[in-house]
């Protein structure tokens, strides 16, 4: 099996077409020959434009209508494209589902040509409509080699494939490709991070000035052998996308259970939950297993306000409450909370984001902060302030009647060993 980029050239008897022969039935070696021909023609031009096209689900269509049906559809595409572009462009098939259209000079409108290509290629016949991804590379041979131009074409097509917008095509973007490559390598490393012992949990104290409760928030950290310390803001969305969030949350729950069993003096530990867990029918069984023997009120859960947009999550939240867990809305006041939902769910409280602590000295924000706290109090919600870094911030929010706070003023997130020392000194 030959390959280019991430695309395998499969050993099918399929159509291939090039400048000289138009289209014809040929062996897979024709794909490689067409690619070489395309590279040679790019070398001839001083400048031009390459449209790199990828047809999604062509293999599935092949299983539905067979080789012959796909071949006939490809023939119709080629004839239609030749009618539209005439002598202005050369067509190449360079893998089972990848194509190149080479213009020797820049078309008047790159977008218009991309729209034409997408319209023609997407509709193979009256029955099947397939999605088309298009990368567009205007090139100058004095700057890039032909191999580099085709490589950029493949990358631009991949970026278009992964983009969520309605754009007809995607240009090559070195920065975006670098970000994507980094994301892909992080995703690969993340799959085994827990098993390799690269994940660990730290605990930040939550201070209750009035009740003197002893509480902590559990925070996941990742020190990757390949990437070093990776921010949760970077790896958590990736973990939610590839399913690793389930194993990570299980690991956090084990760590929390260990600390609660080891230190009976701790009143509670708070844990952040991802909405992706709600789709797992086995999650509550895992929760019961990890927290067996621990009083439910000693484990609180934090959910972001965005959870409240989807009412299908409410059943999950109520099941947690039925077990005896208190629920806090994280980043309260910065999201989408509906007062009616907050009332009906009966959540315990809200955590005000560090955004609020950063603006207490600006008059135009203090009124908003005060009203947000007053609204929460009118709903009988406990208020926890995050990001307290100095005495002035602490005193300001305590004066508003907030129930608890956490931040570097009291302590940075600490290891399990440091936690043991911390609780003995309280």
How would residue 354 be classed by pLDDT, with cut points 50, 70 and 90?
A: confident
pLDDT score of 3: 33
The pLDDT of 273-293, averaged and rounded, is 89
pLDDT tens column, 293-347? 899 999 999 998 767 767 778 888 999 999 999 999 988 866 555 666 777 788 9
pLDDT score of 125: 55
pLDDT score of 232: 94
Other CB atoms within a 10 A radius of the CB of residue 19 amount to 14
pLDDT score of 273: 95
More confident residue, 195 or 125: 195
End-to-end Cα distance, the chain: 65
Q: DSSP state, 87?
A: G
pLDDT tens column, 158-200? 888 877 666 778 888 878 878 778 888 999 999 999 999 999 9
The pLDDT of 418-422, averaged and rounded, is 96
Whole-number CA gyration radius for the chain: 29
Query: What does CATH list as the number for 2-172?
Result: 3.30.70.270
pLDDT tens column, 34-48? 888 899 989 888 889
The span from the CA of 162 to the CA of 177, in Å, is 11
The span from the CA of 425 to the CA of 404, in Å, is 19
The span from the CA of 12 to the CA of 7, in Å, is 14
pLDDT score of 193: 95
pLDDT tens column, 270-280? 999 998 898 78
pLDDT score of 275: 87
pLDDT score of 94: 87
pLDDT score of 178: 80
| Non-local CB neighbours of 80 within 8 Å, separated by 6+ positions | 120
More confident residue, 14 or 196: 196
The pLDDT of 38-64, averaged and rounded, is 83
Quote the mean pLDDT of the chain: 83
The pLDDT of 20-30, averaged and rounded, is 47
pLDDT score of 7: 32
For 15, the token pair is 């159509």
Task: Report helix, strand or coil for 92.
Answer: strand
pTM, to two decimals: 0.69
pLDDT score of 165: 64
pLDDT score of 337: 56
Look at residue 49 and tell me whether its pLDDT is greater than 60: yes
pLDDT tens column, 78-107? 888 887 887 788 888 888 788 899 988 777
The span from the CA of 316 to the CA of 421, in Å, is 36
The pLDDT of 119-145, averaged and rounded, is 78
Other CB atoms within a 10 A radius of the CB of residue 281 amount to 7
H helix runs in 271-338, sequence order = 283-290, 314-323
Other CB atoms within a 10 A radius of the CB of residue 203 amount to 25
pLDDT tens column, 226-235? 999 999 999 9
The span from the CA of 190 to the CA of 247, in Å, is 10
Length of the chain measured in residues: 426
How would residue 418 be classed by pLDDT, with cut points 50, 70 and 90?
A: very high
Look at residue 361 and tell me whether its pLDDT is greater than 80: yes
Look at residue 116 and tell me whether its pLDDT is greater than 80: yes
Distance of CA 30 to the CA centre of its chain: 38
pLDDT score of 28: 56
pLDDT score of 258: 97
Domain assignments of the chain as residue spans, ordered by start: 2-172, 185-425
Tell me which of 53-57, 129-133, 268-272 is least confident.
Answer: 129-133
The span from the CA of 99 to the CA of 189, in Å, is 32
* Highest-confidence segment of 22-26, 51-55, 123-127, 199-203: 199-203
Burial of 388 (0-12, 13-18, 19+ CB in 10 A): buried
Bridge-based pairing of strands 214-224 and 132-140 is: unpaired
For 414, the token pair is 């600490």
Query: Contact, 292 vs 263, CB < 8 A?
Result: no
pLDDT score of 123: 66
How would residue 24 be classed by pLDDT, with cut points 50, 70 and 90?
A: very low
The domain over range 185-425 is classified in CATH as 3.40.50.2020: no
The span from the CA of 337 to the CA of 306, in Å, is 7
Look at residue 370 and tell me whether its pLDDT is greater than 70: yes
More confident residue, 10 or 250: 250
The span from the CA of 163 to the CA of 157, in Å, is 10
CA-closest candidate to residue 189, choices 249, 247, 235, 155: 235
Other CB atoms within a 10 A radius of the CB of residue 215 amount to 21
pLDDT score of 51: 92
């Amino acid at each position: 099996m030959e390959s280019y980029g991430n695309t395998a050239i499969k050993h099918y008897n399929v159509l291939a077409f090039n400048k000289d022969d138009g289209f014809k039935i040929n062996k897979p070696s024709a794909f490689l020959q067409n690619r070489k021909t395309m590279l040679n023609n790019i070398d001839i031009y001083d400048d031009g434009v390459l449209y790199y096209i990828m047809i999604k689900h062509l293999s599935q269509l092949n299983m539905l209508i067979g080789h012959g049906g796909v071949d006939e559809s490809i023939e119709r595409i080629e004839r239609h494209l030749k009618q539209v572009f005439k002598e202005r462009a050369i067509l190449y098939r360079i893998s089972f589902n990848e194509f190149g259209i080479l213009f020797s000079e820049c078309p008047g409108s790159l977008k218009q040509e991309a729209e034409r290509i997408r319209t023609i290629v997407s509709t193979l016949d009256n029955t099947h409509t397939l999605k088309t991804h298009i990368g567009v590379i205007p090139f100058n041979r004095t700057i890039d080699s032909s191999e580099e131009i085709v490589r950029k074409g493949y990358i631009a097509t991949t970026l278009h494939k992964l983009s969520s917008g309605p754009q007809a095509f995607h240009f090559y973007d070195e920065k975006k490709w670098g970000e994507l490559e980094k994301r892909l390598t992080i995703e690969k490393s993340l799959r085994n991070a827990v098993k390799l012992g690269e994940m660990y949990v730290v605990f930040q104290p939550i201070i209750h000035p009035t009740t003197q409760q002893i509480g902590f928030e559990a925070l996941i950290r990742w020190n990757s052998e390949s990437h070093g310390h990776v921010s949760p803001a970077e790896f958590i969305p990736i973990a939610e996308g590839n399913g690793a969030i389930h194993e990570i949350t299980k690991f956090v729950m084990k760590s929390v259970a260990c600390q609660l069993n080891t230190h009976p003096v701790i009143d509670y530990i708070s844990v952040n939950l991802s909405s992706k867990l709600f789709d797992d029918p086995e999650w509550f069984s895992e929760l019961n297993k990890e927290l067996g023997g621990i009083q439910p009120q000693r484990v609180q859960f934090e959910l972001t306000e965005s959870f409240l947009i989807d009412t299908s999550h409410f059943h999950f939240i109520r099941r947690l409450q039925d077990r005896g867990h208190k629920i806090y809305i994280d980043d309260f006041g910065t999201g989408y909370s509906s007062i009616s939902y907050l009332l009906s769910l009966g959540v315990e409280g809200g955590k005000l984001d560090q955004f609020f602590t950063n603006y207490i000295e600006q008059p135009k924000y203090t009124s908003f902060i005060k009203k947000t706290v007053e609204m929460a109090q009118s709903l009988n919600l406990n208020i926890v302030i995050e990001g307290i870094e100095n005495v002035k911030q602490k005193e300001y929010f305590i004066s508003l009647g907030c129930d608890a706070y956490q931040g570097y003023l009291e302590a940075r997130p600490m290891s399990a060993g440091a936690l043991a020392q911390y609780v003995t000194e309280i």
